């Protein structure tokens, strides 16, 4: 399944880049296929490994900050694999051209 | 912490009320403080018990449907308790009147 | 259609109750059917009036704060009316009992 | 400001690639800076032009489908420009290495 998430402190200053850098560092260490975009990170895997990863990221921030907001979106489709790029490949196939990804 | 979530099948017909009824039934059995609104359910508890609950709901639907979308929002604030109603009490105190909840 | 939204400042202190009170005040003045829960507000109406309302709330906060996050979820179903309570009535009918709402 | 969104039909079959291709096509025609990932599209611009775009995408699907779900997340920071890549550049600067984007 594919999981997209973002996690950041509320009330600890406007800049979130330090927090997001911490999160990306943890995601990279997980070894799971992932991609970071301007509003969050998309990761592919099974429920437990994905949720363990989000939990680790959430609490890495909560150790440093008194309030943390975490958002998660899951798309779980039977038999779907390599969806991180596969979903976009399907779009390009339909459109008959490359898209900005 | 407070967790809001919604989980529903994609591509299994327009009506989602059977799926949502299944989910609410599972939430009620958890014994956790909760409230269901027109776009999801809000539950209060600790990370693991909340995530176990969402997982149970998600897979109850995935057993019946080939594609399921699940959305989660978490608000985790140090020392915050009874936030399901407490957050709204704070708003009413500020406004000096009851709000529609 | 039904729209759920939340809007709050990032980096202006941990407490969000003043900002949320401002938002609820604006929603009440819109006259649209609505309900506020611990993680956001649900409103029913047509696209333009709903989006005008969210815009008004978003910029009421941006006038006071340098960074604002706004989240919106829309459920738009042909011919659906009075869904703020109607969706929950359907669940209760299926379950054969009242739910916590 | 940066806006991330996804919009898709509920109950019109499991595959969403035709709907997403329609949406990406409309986004490309807007001429706004954008990037599509596996869970949605990120676009940069001002409130009105961004919301006009999301509305156009939403109703392109509603013309074809009886129920459509649309999700939007906005990050609006005073004076912030070129954030589509700028936010990720900041993360890379902090980490001292390229990230998967």
Outline where DSSP puts E strands in chain B.
2-9, 34-37, 40-44, 67-77
Q: Residue B69 in contact with residue A73, Cβ under 8 Å?
A: yes
Check residue A30 and give its pLDDT.
98
Q: Give the pLDDT confidence of D42-70 residue by residue, as tens digits.
A: 999 999 999 999 999 999 999 999 999 99
Assign C100 a pLDDT band (cuts: 50, 70, 90).
very high
Residue whose C-alpha is closest to residue D92's, from D100, D81, D80: D100
pLDDT at B6 over 90: yes
Inform me whether the pLDDT recorded for B13 exceeds 90.
Answer: no
Confidence of residue C43 (pLDDT cuts 50, 70, 90): very high
Whether the predicted pLDDT of D12 surpasses 90: no
Q: Name residue, tokens 């059977």.
A: B18
pLDDT at A13: 87
Q: Which chains touch A (3 or more CB pairs under 8 A)?
A: B, C, D
Average pLDDT, chain D: 96
For chains A and B, what is the number of CB pairs under 8 angstroms?
A: 61
pLDDT of residue C13: 87
Among D36, D38, D91, the residue with its CB nearest the CB of A21 is D91
Q: What is the pLDDT of residue D10?
A: 95
Neighboring chains of D (3 or more beta-carbon pairs < 8 A): A, B, C
In chain D, the domains with their CATH numbers are 2-95 (3.30.70.930)
pLDDT value of residue C50:
98
The pLDDT of residue B78: 95
- As to burial, measured by CB atoms within 10 angstroms (0-12 exposed, 13-18 middle, 19+ buried), residue D32 is middle
Cα distances (angstroms) measured from residue A90 to each of A26, A84, B80, C101, D39: 30, 11, 45, 41, 13
Q: Which residues pair with A2 in a beta bridge?
A: A44, A75
Contact at 8 Å (CB) between C41 and C23? yes
Report the pLDDT averaged over residues A38-60: 98
DSSP symbols for C28-97 = HHHT--EEEETTEEEEES-HHHHHHHHHHHHHHHHTT-SEEEEEEEEEEETT--SHHHHHHHHHHHHHTS
**Partner B contacted by A36 (CB < 8 A):** no
For D23-34, what is each residue's pLDDT tens digit? 999 999 999 999
Say yes or no to pLDDT of C12 above 90. no
With CB atoms and an 8 Å threshold, state whether C38 touches B95.
Answer: no
């Amino acid at each position: 399944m594919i999981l997209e998430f973002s996690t950041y402190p509320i009330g600890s200053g406007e800049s979130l880049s330090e927090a997001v850098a911490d999160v990306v560092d943890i995601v990279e260490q997980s070894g799971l296929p992932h991609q970071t975009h301007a509003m969050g990170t998309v990761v592919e895997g099974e429920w437990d490994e994905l949720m363990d990863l989000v939990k680790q990221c959430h609490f890495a921030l909560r150790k440093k900050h008194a309030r943390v907001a975490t958002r998660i979106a899951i798309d779980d489709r039977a038999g779907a694999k390599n969806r991180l790029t596969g979903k976009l490949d399907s779009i390009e196939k339909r459109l008959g051209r490359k898209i900005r990804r």
